[in-house]
Amino acid sequence: MSTKKITLYDTTLRDGAQAEGVSFSAGGKLQLVRRLDAFGIDYIEGGYAGSNQKDMDFFEAVRKEPLKHAKLVAFGSTRRVRTKIKDDPFVPSLIKAGTPACTIYGKSWKLHVRDVLRTTLAENLLMIGDTVAYLKDNGREVFFDAEHFFDGYLDDPEYAMQCLQTAVGAGADGVVLCDTNGGTLPHQVSAITKTVREAVDVIVGIHTHNDSGVAVANAIEAVRAGATQVQGTMNGYGERCGNVSLTTLIPVLQLKMGYRCVRKSQLRDLREFSLFVDDLVNLRSNQRSPFVGSSAFSHKGGPHVHAVSKNPITFEHIDPAEVGNERHILVSELSGGSNVLLKAVELGAGQAQSPEDMREVLKALKELESKGYAFEAADASFRILIQKVLKEHKAFFELEGFRVIVEKRGKEESCVSEATIKVRVNGEVEQTVAEGDGPVNALDGALRKALTRFYPEIANVVLTDFRVRILDPEDATAATTRVLIESSDGEETWGTVGVSENVIEAAWEALLDSVEYKLFREEEKRKRRKSRR
CA–CA separation, 446 and 444 (whole Å): 6
The whole-number pLDDT of residue 473 equals 62
Residues carrying CATH 3.20.20.70, the chain: 7-280
pLDDT-derived band at 244 (thresholds 50, 70, 90) equals very high
**pLDDT one-digit tens code per residue, 182-233:** 999 999 999 999 999 999 999 999 999 999 999 999 999 999 999 999 999 9
- Report residue 288 CA to chain centroid gap: 10
**pTM score, two decimals?**
0.74
The single-letter code of the amino acid at 233 is T
**Which CATH superfamily hosts domain 398-532?**
Alpha-isopropylmalate synthase LeuA, regulatory domain (3.30.160.270)
- Report residue 68 CA to chain centroid gap: 25
Q: Cβ(150)–Cβ(177) under 8 Å?
A: yes
Selected residue with higher pLDDT from 86 and 305: 86
CB count, 10 Å around CB of 215?
A: 26
The whole-number pLDDT of residue 404 equals 94
Topology annotation, domain 7-280: TIM Barrel (3.20.20)
Q: Cβ(260)–Cβ(4) under 8 Å?
A: yes
Residues carrying CATH 3.30.160.270, the chain: 398-532
The whole-number pLDDT of residue 385 equals 83
Q: How large is the average pLDDT for residues 349-378?
A: 72
- DSSP H or E segment with residue 136: helix 121-137
**pLDDT one-digit tens code per residue, 109-138:** 999 999 999 999 999 999 999 999 999 999
**pLDDT one-digit tens code per residue, 297-353:** 887 766 776 687 778 888 889 999 999 998 876 665 545 545 555 555 555 555 555
Q: How large is the average pLDDT for residues 436-447?
A: 91
The whole-number pLDDT of residue 256 equals 97
Distances in whole angstroms, Cα of residue 457 to Cα of each of 416, 492, 527? 28, 13, 15
Q: How large is the average pLDDT for residues 153-180?
A: 98
pLDDT-derived band at 145 (thresholds 50, 70, 90) equals very high
